[in-house]
Structure 1
């Protein structure tokens, strides 16, 4: 009984700590930009919501941007954690299964050939592209073993990325309107975009919450999971759908962002050393914080201009990837 109470207290403390850090990060994201806003100014704008400049900047520009950054970071972190557990690949991230590349291909095709608006309609385009990519990977993998899923995802992702580049090169002027999206940016974030993203992020977060205990067992091995009553193939299929929703929604909202899905789950596992459910929850907090901080740096590094958020994350994430790759190198036998 004492052990259970101690475990619950530990979970509560971890969640409270993550919540406090996220709250501080949100305030930092709201205060940072071409025009610095003090915390007092932010509180006044929240209370009054007048037509002054500070209120307009907060409600129309920064708050939607910070909220979308938090959603994107959490979604990437959770999808990366699921991929790493299901495929048992410590270097897995949402790009591994071709989801991001499929969503990106659908968006650029819809924008270029159908004349859809990149601002108002990326989510249904991303849903189609991510879904087709996910189920293509599933079909190519056949019996969905970790190695087959990984190889099929790499192949589908490479094909979609190559086709995207080829389409963009055919008529550069025509596809110039998606340049900011392809570079990954949250500059066009609006309340409408945040609300539109929830129809992909919402079901994805709920599925992740439901599937987390089964993923913990699959991470121990297929035979052991099956002996404990887990339907391995069905769990992998649901995991694929979850990743499709979360990674596809993230790609639609901000463009392709790397490293968050790789780094956040690893940081969470080292921090909490607990089951997959708590690990994914902590990873979601960490992913949200990382994207908010990266977006704040992107806005202030060359203010009043800004650089793509993907550049900031790549600069920060590349050393982490090198560290993980070297850490996983097998030791040579004498």
Structure 2
């Protein structure tokens, strides 16, 4: 397959599509190599901890589990759900970011930057304060609601400015809304004395993930991932511009609505498990587009694999830096994400000037 594929077709309306840069071979290699690296990372992460466990024991605990063996219990009840949860969360944030960037044509779109994480955290703070005994399934639903509230506020405020909604205004509105919601969450935490419970959501981490959470989260994430792949061709057209997509017969309003619902499900599910981890959905889609091109039929699955890799190895690094204590994975990812965000902001400013 050629590394570069160019398409320039005209539809009945006479609209010419932009040339699409596609690297299918690179995408296939990323998915295959990334999956192997992910499996290796999961195995290493499961074996590493306060009690070092050999890879052979990890395999035995997965294939021939014996509840009477302490190491098998540690693997099955603590480490395996933690690592699998991290992989699921990484894929969710990455695919959500890819969809947001494709639909809005905003290179700085990310669930953390645009208020989705803060909105989900704010509603979760209300739930922990007023309804502390809610089951996890209900918390996920409230996370979806909170993510939608955060996104609605950001897009609403950003649209009020003269000149419309630009990428820079969207990011500024996201920063303002996220700060406001975080402050309100902290106020709720102080008043209702749930600061210790809420601290987990701010720090971000997968240490408390269990099988029950994964069983509830998995159908939502799997369904949203499948829907994202089915929508990927339409997102590719939309990323070329709304006029181009309309000229090619795309129902852009319906595509945006479906994509928004998918993003809310992915971001809400991830935040309910890992907390407010930002920049995964910012970094990974840019890296994926650089490697495989601009076709979202390849971007979405590759982003899922690379996002899982990032969070799994970030979680492993969080346990290596200062054992036996753990560094929040949100802080580790931010060490990469903040400079990358500043680079994008400066690049965007140069392009607008």
Aligning the two structures, in what range does the TM-score lie when normalised by the shorter sequence?
0.7 to 0.9
1:167 aligns with 2:188: yes
**1:225 equivalent among 225, 228, 245:** 245
In 1: Cα distance, 2:102 partner to 2:165 partner: 10
Pairwise CA distance, 1:324: 3.2
Contact 1:99 1:247 in 2 (8 A): yes
Deviations 1:2-55 (A, max 9, x none): 769x98766544422222122222222212222222222212222321121221
2:53 alignment partner in structure 1: 37
CA 1:92–1:123 in structure 2 vs 1: closer, same or farther (change >3 Å)?
Answer: same
Pairwise CA distance, 1:157: 3.6
**1:89 equivalent among 101, 106, 113:** 106
In 1: Cα distance, 2:27 partner to 2:241 partner: 26
For structure 2, which runs of at least 5 residues remain unmatched after alignment? 6-22
TM-score (norm 1): 0.88
Pairwise CA distance, 1:74: 0.3
Pairwise CA distance, 1:215: 0.9
**2:313 equivalent among 283, 293, 307:** 293
For structure 1, which runs of at least 5 residues remain unmatched after alignment? none
In 2: Cα distance, 1:185 partner to 1:70 partner: 12
TM-score (norm 2): 0.83
1:102 aligns with 2:119: yes
Query: Relative to structure 2, which stretch is displaced further, 123-132 or 302-311?
Result: 123-132
Deviations 1:129-161 (A, max 9, x none): 223444556666789x86399376555444423
Pairwise CA distance, 1:120: 7.0
**1:124 equivalent among 119, 137, 141:** 141
CA 1:18–1:332 in structure 2 vs 1: closer, same or farther (change >3 Å)?
Answer: closer
**2:166 equivalent among 131, 142, 147:** 147
Query: Relative to structure 2, which stretch is displaced further, 299-308 or 67-76?
Result: 299-308
In 2: Cα distance, 1:273 partner to 1:8 partner: 8
In 1: Cα distance, 2:273 partner to 2:237 partner: 32
Aligned residues: 329
**2:226 equivalent among 191, 200, 206:** 206
Pairwise CA distance, 1:185: 1.5
Contact 1:298 1:306 in 2 (8 A): yes
Deviations 1:274-319 (A, max 9, x none): 5112111111111100000111111222222212111221223333
